[in-house]
Amino acid sequence: MLSFLLKMVLVHVLGDFVLQPDGWIRHKAKHKLRSNRLYAHVLVHLLLFLLVFGFKPTYYWAALVMVVTHFVIDAAKLYLNRLDQPVLLFVGDQLLHFLVLVGLAYWYYPDEWSFAWLGSDRFVLALIAVLLMTYGISIMVKNFLSRWSQRELEVPKSSRKGTSLASAGLYIGMLERLFIFGFILLNQWSGIGFLLAAKSIFRFGDLTRGRDRKLTEYILIGTLLSFGLAMLATLVFKWLWVLV
């Protein structure tokens, strides 16, 4: 089953990322169902599937289902592009493709699947840890820093508006804590030091302007608090993982 699923994922990665030129993507976005690149893209997936699976008749139904669903998902995405949510559409598109592949693997090898792990204590613990690393600690840090207002920080308007990406700080914090989580699980504590040093370098401009001293202190408090909570939560996670 795993071999079957991995081969299908290989087909998808080759067809969707390696063998799909940017020109095809632009042509599909412009002409939608009238784009011959859309049909060529689906044909590439079909040929890759047949090549990877050695043209075995046993898997012809899987090839047909994969091609049809891929066409439907891609076509729907083309007409949803007007929503101007590229990240959401990309993630949704790839998730749907992957679910189809998993469904086909289950269809061909139903006896080799077990979903008991979904109800295990370790799965629940891992899910809680990921949620804490992404959203939970973000809210904790935000609440702690809320005692200092923007007026108190005396940050110029030019520093607050138009110079940073929307919600960039939130996503940077999430990624930092996920890296910390991974580094500690791999027992690579030096990676945390490298991460902190890299962030300090990128923040060097903010941290060296004397007129923004309060902003500097605000950033340092938020960063150290985020790192500290992430390390503490990961250590607790490792302790609980052994117990369950």
pLDDT: is 179 or 119 the higher one? 179
Strands annotated E in 141-232: none
CA 154 to the chain's CA centroid: 35
Encode 137-155: b = buried (16+ Cβ within 10 Å), e = exposed: bbeebeeeeeeeeeeebeb
Token duo for residue 47: 């040929």
Q: Can you give the pLDDT at residue 167?
A: 76
- Using CA atoms of 234, 239, 240, 244 in order, give the dihedral in degrees to the nearest 10: 140
d(CA 2, CA 200): 43
- Of 178 and 2, the structure prediction assigns the larger pLDDT to 178
Give 85-105 pLDDT, tens digit per residue.
788 899 999 999 999 999 999
Rg (the chain; Cα; Å): 24
Task: Give residue 36's pLDDT band: very low, low, confident or very high (50, 70, 90).
Answer: very high
Going by C-alpha positions, the residue among 74, 108, 109, 79 that lies closest to residue 92 is 74
The structure's pTM equals 0.74
What pLDDT digit, counting tens, does each position of 115-170 carry?
787 888 999 999 999 999 999 999 999 888 887 755 556 555 554 544 566 677 88
Percent of the chain having pLDDT more than 70?
A: 88
3-state secondary structure of 1: coil
Average pLDDT estimate for 223-238? 95
C-alpha closest to that of 6 among 102, 93, 90, 78: 102
pLDDT score for 134: 93
The Cβ of residue 97 has, within 10 Å, a number of other Cβ atoms equal to 21
What pLDDT was estimated at residue 18? Answer: 95
